[in-house]
Amino acid sequence: MSETDKEEERKSVQRVSVTETRLKISGDGTRGVLLGKKCQDCGQTFFGAPQFCLKCTSANLKPVELTGEGVVTTYTIVRQAPPGWQGDVPYLLATVRIPEGPHIASEVVDCPEEDLKVGLAVELTMRVGGTDKNGNEIVIYKWRPRPS
Amino acid sequence: MVMKPGREVVIAGVGLHPFGRFPDKSAHDLARTAVLEALDDAKVGYKDIQAAYFGHVYYEGMSMGEIILGQLGLTGIPVINVENACSSGSTGLWLAFWAVATGQFDIVLAFGAEKVPRGPVTTTSSDSPERLIGADFMMASYAQMMRRYMSEYGAPAEAFAQVSVKAHKNASMNPYAHHKKVFTLEDVLNSRMISDPLTLFQCCPTSEGGSAAIICAREVADKYIKDPDRLVTIIGTGLRTTKFGDSDESDQIAAAGREAYEMSGVGPEDVDVVQVHDAGTSGELLGIESLKLVDKGQAWKLEMSGDTEIDGRLPVNTDGGLQGMGHPFGATGIRMIHELVTQLRGEAGDRQVKKANIGLAQCSGAGGIATVFLLRK
């Protein structure tokens, strides 16, 4: 196959967001922004798209883009692959609190095991984390240590 | 809002099918054995049961409760199948309690059974994005709880491992337990790392088993029960799910505890013997703190000093808990009740706690569910 044909084949693989209500991807899936909803009545912000405010139950929610950085509140190093995980093991899994309040759990990448700790400052990064049944590559929001 | 029972509710009989692996038995078989044992314990005939609640998670054909009981008799009673993850059995018991407390029925059966296959436990459907994200793994959640607690209070890994050591020691004295092998602290800490810092022997074994309880209204008990001395009263109960807020506000175990304490009129200081949801060892330490049985950040010290042993000042999981008994999801909630009833009746033999008048059972379920029962003899 010629170089041009290979290029065409590679470009025809689509990249999709793992969950469109949580993550909007752009730039061929290399960039992304976390999505949420903000309650116009009580001011609480949520990750993803609840139908009603989870705090005050108001229906008056507006879509917002969330800050792509935060702080690790807890973590683990998963050494046994759970069903459905398409990545390697071991993998670092952390819960991260973003400034708006929500806690978002995902894999931490580009981080040596010994550097992962409660209080670590992290930033959002995109990674392909699997393929769907149509052959599309699934882009997942992940965390990586924020350069100091 | 505090719910008030209209009349006193008692446990008349309890039964278990041993927990373990039974390749030649279905969940139906395990359930039936437990129900028959409970009927025999209460000395009540199946014909007297007026309603039944069956807790289970996995599907082995529709209408499992009806099929199970259909072999004991076709008496036309209402049978409800209940799913609330790992608290399915105790949710069935909660429904049964309120049915009797409000006068809907006089005497009912609550039972549960499960055959949990080996391997990591997940809670979402097979095509859920959570699995791709890597966040749907029950033991990874318990590991994160453990890491958070260690970071906040400086608790060592040994304190969590000790939960398992105690559990297996207690289970070795329990003929119904899945695992009867005794472990040392080193055995537990050196077992295969599942999700750091939770090792294999700090994850409750997946298991198979069944449990059952027959409850009735005290005022009609004499009509059905020949031996009123063995009756145990349910003095309080709570069932809550997670609420929005910080870790204290959202804590459904604490909320279910408050509900049960308020209903019963007793406080944490009155509790003699405890069952708490130790799916991961961290569940025991966090659970007894949520229930205000020990101050925040102190549970790990209690565990290391031996205070949660059978002869300690706050005996926890005297039958082995989930760690030692194993965890067949639908059966666990009422298995906890079985042990408390046995303790309160003074029939626990080698596992007998010296002072056992008030018992507390707390069972959790994925999805942010917590149940609590307070029993008194």
Structure tokens at B159: 């304190």
Residues of A with CB under 8 A from a CB of B: 18-19, 22, 44, 54-55, 73-87, 90-91, 93, 95, 105-107, 118, 129-130, 138, 140
How many angstroms away from the CA of A104 is the closest CA of chain B?
10
Q: What share of chain B is helix, strand, coil (3-state, %, to 5)?
A: 40, 20, 35
pLDDT digits (tens, 9 = 90+) for A53-67: 999 999 999 999 999
In a domain? residue B362: yes
For residue B109, pLDDT beyond 80: yes
For residue B229, pLDDT beyond 70: yes
Q: Give the nearest chain B residue to A18 (CA atoms).
A: B129
Q: Minimal CA–CA distance to B234: which of B375, B110, B68, B61?
A: B375
- Best of A21, A76, A103 to substitute, by most chain B Cβ atoms within 10 angstroms, is A76
- Best of B123, B132, B203 to substitute, by most chain A Cβ atoms within 10 angstroms, is B132
Q: Is B275 found in the same domain as B144?
A: yes
pLDDT, position B263: 97
pLDDT, position B224: 87
In a domain? residue B132: no
Q: Is B55 found in the same domain as B45?
A: yes
Residues of A in contact with B130 (CB under 8 A): 84
Q: Residue B136: which of A75, A84, A138 has the nearest Cβ?
A: A84
Catalytically active residues of B are 86, 327
In a domain? residue B130: no
Contact between B122 and A83 using a beta-carbon 8 Å cutoff: yes
Alpha helices in chain B (DSSP H): 27-42, 64-70, 88-101, 129-133, 138-153, 157-171, 185-190, 218-224, 247-250, 252-264, 281-290, 299-304, 321-325, 329-344
Q: Residue B134: which of A54, A74, A85 has the nearest Cβ?
A: A85
pLDDT band at A6 (very low <50, low <70, confident <90, very high): low
Contact between A78 and B148 using a beta-carbon 8 Å cutoff: no
In a domain? residue B125: no
Q: Is B217 found in the same domain as B96?
A: yes
pTM above 0.90, yes or no: yes
Q: Is B97 found in the same domain as B109?
A: yes
pLDDT band at A27 (very low <50, low <70, confident <90, very high): confident
Contact between A78 and B195 using a beta-carbon 8 Å cutoff: yes
- Residues A125-131, mean pLDDT to the nearest whole number: 95
pLDDT band at B226 (very low <50, low <70, confident <90, very high): confident
Phi and psi at A100, nearest 5°, equal -70, -10
Q: Is B350 found in the same domain as B211?
A: no
Contact between A82 and B132 using a beta-carbon 8 Å cutoff: no
d(Cα B269, Cα A65) in Å, to the nearest integer?
A: 48
- Residues A33-40, mean pLDDT to the nearest whole number: 98
For residue A7, pLDDT beyond 80: no
Residues of A in contact with B147 (CB under 8 A): 74-76, 118
pLDDT, position B247: 87
Q: Residue B126: which of A77, A84, A118 has the nearest Cβ?
A: A84
Structure tokens at B261: 């304490």
Complex ipTM more than 0.90, yes or no: yes
pLDDT band at B227 (very low <50, low <70, confident <90, very high): confident
pLDDT, position A15: 96
Q: Is B110 found in the same domain as B247?
A: no
Contact between A74 and B145 using a beta-carbon 8 Å cutoff: yes
Q: Is B301 found in the same domain as B228?
A: no
- Residues B115-127, mean pLDDT to the nearest whole number: 92
Contact between A78 and B133 using a beta-carbon 8 Å cutoff: no
- Read off the CATH number of the domain in which B268 is found: 3.40.47.10
- Residues A63-79, mean pLDDT to the nearest whole number: 98
Q: Classify B140 as helix, strand or coil.
A: helix
Q: Is B165 found in the same domain as B57?
A: no
Residues of B with CB under 8 A from a CB of A: 119-120, 122, 126, 128-137, 139-140, 143-145, 147-148, 151, 192-198, 244-245
In a domain? residue B124: no
pLDDT digits (tens, 9 = 90+) for B133-158: 999 999 999 999 999 999 999 999 99
pLDDT, position B366: 96
pLDDT, position A12: 66
For residue A73, pLDDT beyond 90: yes
How many angstroms away from the CA of A2 is the closest CA of chain B?
34
Which of B234, B251, B280 is a domain's end point? Answer: B234
Q: How far apart are the first and last CA of chain A?
A: 45
- Residues B30-54, mean pLDDT to the nearest whole number: 97
pLDDT, position A119: 98
Calculate the average pLDDT of chain B: 97
Q: Is B249 found in the same domain as B173?
A: yes
Unique residue bearing structure tokens 């507390």: B360
Q: Is B181 found in the same domain as B96?
A: no
- Residues A68-90, mean pLDDT to the nearest whole number: 96
For residue B232, pLDDT beyond 80: yes
In order, the DSSP letters of A40-55 are TTT--EEES--SS-TT
Domain that holds residue B289: 139-197+235-376
Q: Give the nearest chain A residue to B199 (CA atoms).
A: A79
Percent of chain B with pLDDT over 70: 99
Residues of A in contact with B197 (CB under 8 A): 76
pLDDT, position A57: 97
By residue count, chain B amounts to 377
Contact between B194 and A73 using a beta-carbon 8 Å cutoff: no
The total of structural domains in chain A comes to 1
In a domain? residue B14: yes
Residues of A in contact with B250 (CB under 8 A): none
Domain that holds residue A71: 3-145
Percent of chain B with pLDDT over 90: 95
The total of structural domains in chain B comes to 2
pLDDT, position A1: 58
- Best of A52, A53, A75, A80 to substitute, by most chain B Cβ atoms within 10 angstroms, is A80
Contact between B126 and A85 using a beta-carbon 8 Å cutoff: no
pLDDT, position A2: 66
Q: Is B152 found in the same domain as B23?
A: no
For residue B325, pLDDT beyond 60: yes
Q: Give the nearest chain A residue to B149 (CA atoms).
A: A74
Q: Is B188 found in the same domain as B223?
A: no
For residue B292, pLDDT beyond 60: yes
pLDDT digits (tens, 9 = 90+) for B346-371: 999 999 999 999 999 999 999 999 99
How far lies A36's CA from each of A7, A139, B207, in Å? 35, 18, 39
pLDDT, position A148: 79
